[in-house]
Amino acid sequence: MRWLLAAVVVSAHAGVSGGSPGVTTIAPDESVQEQSLTTAIEILQDRGRELTIADVSKPASNLGFVAGTPENTNVGFSDSAWWVRFTLRNAESEPRLVYLRQSYPLIDWLELYEPAAERWKTHATGDRRPFNSRDVKHKDFLFPVTLPPQSERTFYLRYLSQGPVDINLSLVGASSLAESLSKEQMAYGIYFGCVLMLLVWSGLVFVAVRDKAFLSYFAYVAAFGIYMTVNTGFAYQYFWPDSPRWANSVLIVMLNLAIVSALHFSVTILRSRDYTPLLFRIAQVFQGLGVLGVALTPFMSYSSLVRPTAFVALLAVAFMITLGIVSLLAGSRPARFYVTAWGALLVGSVIFLFKNFGLVPHTFMSQHSWQVGALLEMLLLSMTLSSRMNELKHQSRTDPLTLLGNRRLFDDRLPIEFSLARDSRRHLSLLVLDIDNFKAYNDKHGHLAGDEAIKIVGAALRRHTRKPVLACRYGGDEFCVILPGADTETAAQIAERLRTNVAAARDGELAITISVGYASVADAVFDNHEKLFDAADAALYAAKESGRNRIAEFKGRRAEDMPRRTSKPAADLPG
């Protein structure tokens, strides 16, 4: 037999009230769907925290209760106690069980006063009390209320918290509550499952590549993920239900650790030490404040730390968005995803704020827009790591001293270009060059001067080569340039341009010159790419034999037609 569902009536009194609030009737239905009570309650600020239930429930009292609104029920940080009252009426002939739900779980002390005979039945709970103090073992505060038939009851709640006070009350029937909780559990399962997936992914990639950007991301996701379990109330429910002090302190610890790890990830992925040194130093200051917040947690009260920590977190987010924009304008590829990621978090936070002020409807998505924004942020930050992987791949094929391609890249590309040229019957030329008398230069002026000489050649190659030309440092002071589509005449022009540019770069004792040898598939028959290299290398040998600081063309029909260097002492020396 179906339950006969009673009409649930919620008080709504406009303005200041000293007597009984008015009553608004909700029509009977198959179930009592979850309904927000934000505009159907009255609230009272108790600045001295001295009022008792006897004081606020006196029929003739005029203490200053005002009607609840989306604005005044989202109190924020407050040292006052806050009283809430509302009236429920069961107009039917059967008793009715409904649940009162306070969905913001971070309230330190929360008491519900339920009328019972000639006294008040008190439900005392809050996250400063053991988790077992709750009537229903759930992350939110759920109070079962049984309304007798044909009755009207006025209830009172008292809120007191060192953190923000968010009076977010709703009323729901038992069957609707079960359905609602089931959907929420599924949504939270997906949410934290995604966080766990990002943790596993970043951890495995870090083990594989050993890049500290992935370790920083792993630390950030871990810290922020734990912070979200604390903020949503799950951590207190499942991890430390008998440790209310730690349940509050861990919120400060995790938020500070999230700030520190997010900043470390930011300066690593954006290479701030190299490109924005001033912002890098500012990031270090914020990180120091985060570490200080963690260190002070055992010695200072939650109320003393929560507001400064929230302020530092706000400034840190604004700073990281600024850092991302500056890096984006400087041409950083990872910055594109980075700025979008923090923008997603900002948008989610704004929607959540608008919900609190009644500017958007209170829905599951608007209520949890901040968490959704944070998840999108972490997902988008993982895309910056994908960009980082491409950067690491590029770095593995880049010479760090000259920023040209390295030997590995040259060995990969030359066979490909040789095959393409042979198959499509197009031109391909190769330059091989090195610094004249580099060993003597290096011995006389030292390794730092030798490095500068190599950088000068590298800079000349970067200036005078454009895609599809590929310039690489082959080893020591020796360089190679692959010229797809270039015939012998073009190769000679580029070689001469490089030679004159390097010769003009410095005067006096520190002046350097280069010799260049070049060969083209248009002028000789080469069985493979190695023969092409041997021909250009033989031409370089000829240039040195004829006096250095000059270019030489491979003149034979085959690589074997020219004498080869038996040794390359200069090229084998490190720069």
**Angle, helices 369-396/244-269, rounded to nearest 10 degrees:** 40
Convert the pLDDT of each residue in 157-175 to its tens digit: 999 998 888 888 988 888 8
| Residue 325 to residues 213, 282, 375, Cα–Cα distance (Å) | 19, 15, 21
Q: Where are the domains of the chain?
A: 9-178, 211-394, 407-572
Task: Determine the Cα–Cα distance for residues 97 and 120; give it in Å rounded to an integer.
Answer: 18
> Looking at residue 355, what is its pLDDT?
56
pLDDT single digits (tens) 248-269: 899 899 989 999 999 998 898 8
pTM: 0.64
Number of H helices, E strands in the chain: 17, 19
pLDDT confidence band for 295 (50 / 70 / 90): very high
Q: What is the pLDDT of residues 29-53, one digit of tens each?
A: 545 577 888 888 999 999 999 999 9
Burial call 311-336: b when 16+ CB within 10 Å, e when fewer:
ebbeebbebbbebbebbbeeebebbb
What backbone torsions phi and psi does residue 455 show, to the nearest 5 degrees?
A: -65, -35
C-alpha angle 16/17/23, rounded to 5°? 120
From the CB of residue 374, how many other CB atoms can be counted at a distance below 10 Å?
24
For the segment(s) 407-572, the CATH number from 3.40.50.2000, 3.30.70.940, 3.30.70.270, 3.40.50.1220 is: 3.30.70.270
Write b or e for each residue in 154-178: b if 16 or more Cβ atoms lie within 10 A of its Cβ, otherwise e: bbbbbbbbbbbbbbbbbbbbeebbe
Chain centroid offset of residue 226 CA: 15
Residue 569, burial from CB neighbour count under 10 angstroms (0-12, 13-18, 19+): exposed
Of the pLDDT bands very low, low, confident and very high (cuts 50, 70, 90), residue 10 is very low
| pLDDT at residue 348, rounded to an integer | 76
Residues whose CB falls within 8 Å of the CB of residue 89, separated by 6 or more in sequence, listed in order: 7, 8, 9, 23, 25, 147, 151, 152, 153
**pLDDT in the model for residue 491:** 92
Length of the chain: 575
125 pairs with which residues across the strands? 110
Query: Above 80 in pLDDT, residue 109?
Result: yes
Q: CA 164, 167, 168, 172: dihedral to nearest 10 degrees?
A: 140
DSSP string, 370-407: HHHHHHHHHHHHHHHHHHHHHHHHHHHTB-TTT-SB-H
**Bridge partner list, 127:** none
Separation of alpha carbons 479 and 401, rounded Å: 13
Written in H, E and C, the secondary structure of 453-487 is HHHHHHHHHHHHCCCCCEEEEEECCEEEEEEECCC
User: CATH for 9-178?
Assistant: 2.60.40.2380
